[in-house]
Amino acid sequence: MRAVVQRVSEASVTVDGNVTGTIGKGLLVLLAVHRDDTDEQLRWMAEKLRKLRIFEDDEGKMNRSVEDVDGGMLIVSQFTLYGALKKGTRPSFTASAGPEKAEQMYDRMVALLEDAMPGRIQTGIFAAKMDVSLVNDGPVTIIVER
């Protein structure tokens, strides 16, 4: 499982002209599921995302999590994070989970986070063509992988 996590002051996802998810201060998470991922990795990633200390404390140090700052989380599926360019210039996505497994794991991730952070989780639409808008705060961007 791989996630690109961006600390944002705001972010939103639009599909076919309709906003499907929007947050203020929080984390935009672009999430990819690997073909070999397990529920253990899913739970690890959910915990890591909730506890990742990339928000500043009163002394300006990155010492607070999204939970600590009462922020939101916008979770967007993005299988292209497993694109490989070992040969040529066209990416191969063979490491990405198939659509059925990826969607099931994506839905479970959203449910785990929603259970832990009720009312603060927003999403895109799995496998849709999405327009993602964000204001990166910092900028701070972290890659999390397990």
Supply the pTM of this predicted model. Answer: 0.95
Is the pLDDT score of 55 beyond 90? Answer: yes
What's the total number of domains in the chain?
A: 1
Which phi and psi angles does 28 have, rounded to 5°? -95, 125
Yes or no: say if 20 and 124 are a contact pair by the CB < 8 Å rule: yes
Q: What is the structure's pLDDT at 146?
A: 87
Q: In CATH, what number is assigned to the domain containing residue 99? A: 3.50.80.10
Active site residue 104: no
Residue 14 among the catalytic residues: no
How many beta carbons lie within 10 A of that of residue 138, not counting itself? 13
> What tens digit of pLDDT does each residue of 60-85 get?
999 999 999 999 999 999 999 999 99
Selected residue with higher pLDDT from 2 and 88: 2
Residue in 14, 38, 41, 78 annotated catalytic: 78
> What is the reported pLDDT for 16?
96
Please say if 78 is a catalytic residue.
yes
Q: What is the domain range of residue 68?
A: 2-145
- pLDDT tens-digit series, residues 108-127: 999 999 999 999 999 999 99
Rounded Cα distance, 74 and 6, in Å: 10
pLDDT of residue 127: 93
| Active-site residue, from 6, 55, 79, 122 | 79
Helix (H, G, I), strand (E, B) or coil at 43: helix
